[in-house]
């Protein structure tokens, strides 16, 4: 049964759920019911070797108490940044609900079994694209990309089980900090932060 947890009713952080995933699951369920498109869209922020931030929108594909999973080309800009600096931040913003969640933590690779299982659920065109696109590399023309797509389609025309490319996999953000934000009148928003120390989560409310 959906709880519709509203952190605006909290007097202190002690009244919040002890487990941040309980609150995340509640808000994410609401988002899937009320957001018209891509309720699982999230901003992924990474960092280059020289400390320059880089951000883009990706899609959440799995989540549990181990963390939050997305998939991409490991040779892309974000893949190379995560290889050199294995930490990331995520932001969900659901404008219809006036809710935002910010997540920070270390990065780990999903298992090959997890990646293979998810890859098989993708549309065949997306699986072809994962092979054909040299993500983040310079592209001379759209024709060049179309030609690679056609060549890949020809290669796998007799194979319905298109395999996962070795350069394509998933990443899990393992959070040590999760902030829940609910918009308030006159910019007096409600902010609730969970911070992890070892295996335990602490709870704190912040000024807006």
**Residues designated catalytic:** 187
Nearest to residue 76, comparing CAs of 46, 117, 31?
A: 46
Nearest to 181 by CA among 23, 22, 14: 23
Closest of 76, 79, 57 to residue 137, by C-alpha:
76
The answer to whether the beta carbons of residues 174 and 67 sit under 8 Å apart is yes
- Burial letters 142-156, b for 16+ CB under 10 A, else e: eeeeeebbeebeeee
Token pair, residue 184, equals: 């308030």
């Amino acid at each position: 049964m959906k709880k519709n947890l509203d952190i605006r009713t909290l007097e202190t952080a002690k009244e919040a759920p002890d487990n941040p995933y309980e609150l995340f699951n509640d808000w994410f369920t609401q988002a899937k019911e009320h957001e018209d498109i891509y309720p699982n869209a999230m901003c992924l922020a990474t960092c280059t070797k020289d400390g320059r931030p880089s951000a883009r929108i990706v899609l959440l594909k799995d989540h549990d108490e181990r963390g939050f999973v997305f998939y991409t080309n490991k040779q892309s800009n974000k893949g190379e940044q995560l290889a050199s600096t294995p930490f990331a931040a995520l932001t969900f913003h659901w404008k219809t609900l006036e809710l935002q969640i910010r997540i920070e933590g270390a990065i780990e690779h999903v298992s090959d079994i997890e990646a293979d299982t998810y890859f098989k659920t993708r549309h065949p065109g997306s699986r072809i694209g994962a092979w054909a696109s040299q993500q983040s590399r310079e592209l001379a023309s759209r024709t060049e990309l179309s030609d690679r797509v056609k060549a890949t389609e020809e290669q796998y025309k007799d194979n319905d089980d298109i395999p996962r490319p070795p350069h394509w996999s998933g990443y899990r953000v393992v959070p040590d900090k999760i902030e829940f934000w609910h918009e308030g009148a006159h910019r007096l928003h409600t902010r609730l932060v969970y911070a992890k120390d070892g295996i335990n989560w602490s709870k704190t409310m912040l000024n807006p």
